[in-house]
Structure 1
Amino acid sequence: MSVDAAVFREAMSRLGAAVTIVTTGSLDAPVGFTASAVCSVTDTPPTLLVCLNRSTRARPAFAELGAICVNVLSAGQDALSNHFASPMEMSERFALGHWTTLETGAPTLEEAVASFDCRITQMVEVGTHTVIFGAVQAIRLGGDVGGLVYFNRAYHHLPYISAN
């Protein structure tokens, strides 16, 4: 049975996902893009996966540099997400936000809800995308703020609710 690509995309738009900015490189030569195709693989060892369109100009840097940082955006950071999704030059993207590094040297967004600093362990080509697996080397937790999700082709702000 064949599934129509447009129907698949419409169904996937109804699968809400956290909005992230995924980075590589260094503070001197940063590379990054907005992604919602990020998920946990396992907690032993802590590992994430990120899907990156193979045609993006950022793809070669991720293949060469061996590190990624997944920066989870908070409610109200819609403009930052759009900024990183735009066609502007990489250096211009990093003009917004405050950037530092953790273990791998990949740029880490200080205002992120959480940042997962990873070494790339594997890259697998699947259709139009590259699936990047990253072993988490360091984590930085941000403030107690709400989350930003993408659902039905729009941003939605989630409130912060304490687990206590």
Structure 2
Amino acid sequence: MSELTRSQREFRAAMANLSAAVNVVTTDGPHGLAGITVSAACSVTDSPPTVLVCVNRESRSREVLVANGRLCVNVLGTDHEDLAMHFAGATRVPTAERFTADDWDLETEGVPVLRGAPASLVGRIVAEQGQGSHSVLFVEVEKVLTSAESGALVYFQRRFHNLAAQPVSA
């Protein structure tokens, strides 16, 4: 890998100061089981409900996600930092073993859904756009699952942080 330019270093430093939700994007189907940790995911529109997910083009998981065509964006909660690390590839836990815990519903939706996640968005990839080193996947959401009163796992300044849920005042 070549040395980063000044512009790239400045951009990366700025993006480290952009708080982001941590998600594990999962898929299963004829092309296999896969999952990857991403912080670049967001809402696009509610008509029809659509999210976008950015995935590095070099990632093996990207190939499987696109080939299967269906996925789940699992928004991680405060107790999911270990999962984030596993699916980021930081722990060297093989892909198949990442899904063996009872945390996963592998049957109901046809793609792995994280039980108790603050939110899980099951959908179909309807478009893909390449931009630099990444693919932007547009996912039309077919089903939404939420868990009330769970906190959030966020990524800020290159570290994970827990954000506790606060009760809504009347």
Give the TM-score, by structure 1 length.
0.91
| Residues 52 and 129 in structure 1, CA contact (< 8 A), matched pair in contact too | yes
CA distance in 2, matches of 1:21, 1:102: 17
Residue 71 of structure 1 pairs with residue 113 of structure 2: no
Letter in 2 for 1:147: A
CA distance in 1, matches of 2:129, 2:107: 25
CA distance in 2, matches of 1:104, 1:37: 23
Residue 8 of structure 1 pairs with residue 43 of structure 2: no
Aligned match of 2:142: 137
Residue 147 of structure 1 pairs with residue 147 of structure 2: no
Letter in 2 for 1:57: R
CA distance in 1, matches of 2:108, 2:142: 6
Aligned match of 1:109: 114
CA distance in 2, matches of 1:104, 1:14: 35
| Residues 116 and 138 in structure 1, CA contact (< 8 A), matched pair in contact too | yes
Letter in 1 for 2:49: P
Aligned match of 1:92: 97
Aligned-pair distance for 1:80?
1.1
Q: Percent identity?
A: 40
Aligned match of 2:61: 58
Pair 88,66 (structure 1): closer, same or farther in 2 beyond 3 Å: same
Aligned-pair distance for 1:136?
0.5
Aligned match of 1:18: 21
Alignment partner of 1:9: what SS?
helix
Structure 1: segments with no counterpart, 5+ residues: none
Alignment partner of 1:39: what SS?
strand
Alignment partner of 2:85: what SS?
helix
Residues paired across the two proteins, number: 162
Runs of 4+ in structure 1 displaced over 3 angstroms? 101-104
| Residues 41 and 49 in structure 1, CA contact (< 8 A), matched pair in contact too | yes
CA distance in 2, matches of 1:157, 1:76: 8
Structure 2: segments with no counterpart, 5+ residues: none
| Residues 31 and 61 in structure 1, CA contact (< 8 A), matched pair in contact too | yes
Alignment partner of 1:139: what SS?
strand
Q: CA RMSD in A?
A: 2.0
CA distance in 1, matches of 2:62, 2:147: 27
| Residues 152 and 164 in structure 2, CA contact (< 8 A), matched pair in contact too | yes
